[in-house]
Amino acid sequence: MKVFGVVMAGGSGTRFWPLSRKFRPKQLLNLTGKDAMINEAVARLKPVAKDGIYIVSSKSQREGLLSVLKGCVPEEHILLEPVARNTAACIGYAAVKILKEEGDGVLVVIPSDSYIKNTEAFMRALSLAAETAEEKDAIVTIGIKPTFPATGYGYIRFEEGEEPVRRVLQFVEKPDLPHAQAYLESGQFVWNSGMFIWKASLILKKIEKYLPELYQYLMRLKDAVGTEREYEVLESVYPEMPSISVDYGVLEKSDGIYVVPADLGWSDVGSLDMLEAVRTTDADGNITVGETYPLDTHHTIIYTGGKPVCTVGVDDLIIVDMPDVLLVCSKEHAQDVKKIVDELRAKGKEELL
Amino acid sequence: MKVFGVVMAGGSGTRFWPLSRKFRPKQLLNLTGKDAMINEAVARLKPVAKDGIYIVSSKSQREGLLSVLKGCVPEEHILLEPVARNTAACIGYAAVKILKEEGDGVLVVIPSDSYIKNTEAFMRALSLAAETAEEKDAIVTIGIKPTFPATGYGYIRFEEGEEPVRRVLQFVEKPDLPHAQAYLESGQFVWNSGMFIWKASLILKKIEKYLPELYQYLMRLKDAVGTEREYEVLESVYPEMPSISVDYGVLEKSDGIYVVPADLGWSDVGSLDMLEAVRTTDADGNITVGETYPLDTHHTIIYTGGKPVCTVGVDDLIIVDMPDVLLVCSKEHAQDVKKIVDELRAKGKEELL
């Protein structure tokens, strides 16, 4: 059976502001110092998704996306949503497109904005998941072995056993700290990585069952795929689609899901402090990008998009100096950067977003 | 007798970097939001220095100085040192210039970079000091009644009594904290404000006695004042002059000095955190200049020379965003800004200084 990669790249990533912007979302940034996140995601998928890689992004990000991809994914494999409608619609769109143009196959669906250190382990986990998805015609997810009691991720509880692939017992929303600690200690939970491996035909069956309204729109879209009406229908049906996550709309309601627990050196790059996971620190624990002069400065992230940045006697800060705006944030408050974005939007400062 | 004002405006103020620069020293900045420090100093002196005000600055600051002064001091009263040679040379130069061109008179010598809140008290103190300097032909200083046990200022110990003018018993260098506390509690010490009131002729007598080498150079300069050789002699003798402060070179060695203790709401604006003394804080204790978006931000000074500055979850910082360089500094380390200036100089970044 064929295996396709689907990279979900529609996010805007306001918690990464001001590095990320409306037209330069997180996945287009070169956060590791090596390559843009989306290019790294595509490169990681290639050995597994031997029959081709699709990217689902948004119409507004087209230009930025093309300039970053530099042709490493053919333009006809780039699906552009007219508006964002969450992951169920995104995956459904990819499924009808691939099913109609390429026939059925296993879709390895991954987010574009995760960082994965252990590439080998990632390939092994995906290969195993793709085999399982084909053999059992089941939904398979990748679960990340937790390394700390994270309260910012969803968890997946799996059946005890020795096999490398386990039955999923339960999806759990982001827990509080005591629960997260219990999950970590039990050894029976993994983090939900947002990676799903299933056949295009199964995706549509599941959506038909659990999200029938979305299914109707997807069928209208499927009819138009490959015809000269495709763009017009996409533009007209997409805004009508319900906006719901595939986790909540399909997975939490389904039975017979499998998970491959894996140790990937994974990070979801959810906010600016995650730069620490992907960059090398200096002797004082600082991460600096650009011309910086840190003095008596510790555990601080300094990114400058141009001019020199000098720091004196500061700890645990995130400083992002862009040509048009400056952010100075404590690491503790890295998640609150989206509040600033909200405030700027409320004050009509669209040009900064 | 005539009374002249002499404003010492040669300082470079590296602790105010990056607001202050080589060609835009602290005294030319509008720190209060009202007017440049030097203009405020001139305005405060005018009612007392009824026979004219002189400014001593450096040749390299001429252009900036003239553009800030906007003619409020005549150009022939602006004395430009070819190189900086500390306060003894600076005051000596003013003395020979005034003595030769205007005749003897009381010189009210003040620094250009002090902030004084209580203008009325300042005028009363200066008037009293000028009368005393004339009547007793003595050196008179203004002493600031201490409001906290400062370790960053020199102190003056004075004779007990009830009179508004007291004899100075001792000049004390910057003390450690226990000594500063003892001085504060004793009620017999004031801060050395760096303001001296004495006749031009007395200045030269004292320099002749305690700094004979400097005196020789000043006499060569005096001969040339008012002739077409003036500029040429200035250029040749100034670099040869010994560099010594008037405090150390003259005052600490002299007897019969008087002090007028005064409550001036004084601050020496020694480093960036002093902006707190001259600006109004918001409800969270922040001082902001320019377009700023402080969120969960407290007791922080934010100055932006152009673009918007956003802060999240930070306390007790100083942020100065200039078009060519950014400084982020903890208030606690405000004095260490000069170390960054030293580092930039060592690294050949002259354009940032």
Give me the mean pLDDT over the B8-27 stretch. 86
Chain segment B284-307, per-residue pLDDT in tens? 999 999 999 999 999 999 999 889
Instruction: Please give the tally of structural domains in chain A.
Output: 2
Residues B185 and B67 grouped into a single domain:
yes
Chain B closest CA to A115's CA: distance in Å? Answer: 25
Structural domain containing residue B30: 3-267
Q: Confirm or reject contact between B288 and chain A (CB < 8 A).
A: no
Residues A204 and A291 both lie in one domain: no
Find how far residue B267's CA is from the centre of its chain. 10
Task: Please say which residue of B216, B251, B267 terminates a domain.
Answer: B267
Enter the ipTM: 0.82
Task: Print burial letters for B141-171: b (CB count within 10 Å at least 16), e (below 16).
Answer: bbbbebeebbeebbbbbbeeeeeebbebeeb
Judge if B246 and B299 occupy the same domain.
Answer: no
> Residue B204, SS3?
helix
Q: Which of B200, B212, B195, B201 is nearest to B251 (CA)?
A: B195
Asked if pLDDT for residue A14 goes beyond 90, the answer is no
Q: Are residues B60 and B18 in the same domain?
A: yes
Percent of chain B with pLDDT over 70: 100
pLDDT of residue B3: 98
Q: What pLDDT, in 10s, does the model give residues A145-183?
A: 999 999 989 999 999 988 999 999 999 999 999 999 999
Is A313–B333 a contact, with Cβ atoms under 8 angstroms apart?
yes
A39–chain B nearest CA distance, Å: 31
- Cβ contact (<8 Å) for A310 and B325? yes
Angle between helical axes of B119-136 and B37-45 (0-180°, round to 10): 60
Shared-domain flag, residues A259 and A284: no
pLDDT classification of B277: cutoffs 50, 70, 90 = confident
CB contact under 8 A, B317 and A311: no
- Residue B107 sits in the same domain as residue B234: yes
- A280 and A246 in a common domain: no
CB contact under 8 A, B310 and A326: yes
Q: What is the CATH number of the domain that holds B152?
A: 3.90.550.10
Q: Among A250, A267, A284, which residue terminates a domain?
A: A267
Residues B88 and B224 in one domain: yes
| CB within 8 Å: B314 and A329 | yes
**CB pair distance less than 8 Å for A325 and B307:** yes
CB-closest option in B293, B323, B333 to A296: B333
**pLDDT grade, residue B15 (50/70/90)?**
confident
Nearest CA in chain B to A315: B330
Residue of A nearest to B343 (CA): A293
Cα A44 from chain centre = 14
For residues B62 and B194, membership in a common domain is answered with: yes
Q: Kindly state whether A327 is in contact with chain B, defined as any CB-CB distance less than 8 angstroms.
A: yes
In a shared domain, residues A212 and A229: yes
Q: In the structure encoding, which two tokens stand for residue B116, read together?
A: 């004084």
Q: Quick check: A339 and B312 CB within 8 A? A: yes
CA–CA separation, A290 and A305 (whole Å): 7
CB nearest A319 (choices: B313, B328, B332): B328
SS3 A152: coil
Q: What is the pTM of this model?
A: 0.83
Same domain, B129 and B277: no
Q: Which of A267, A297, A315 is the last residue of a domain?
A: A267
Q: Are residues B129 and B63 in the same domain?
A: yes
Phi and psi at B184, nearest 5°, equal -60, -45
- According to DSSP, the β-strands at B140-144 and B292-295 are unpaired
**A314 contact B CB<8A:** yes
> pLDDT by residue (tens digit) across B199-236?
999 999 999 999 999 999 999 999 999 999 999 999 99
Binary contact (A311, B328; C-beta < 8 A):
yes
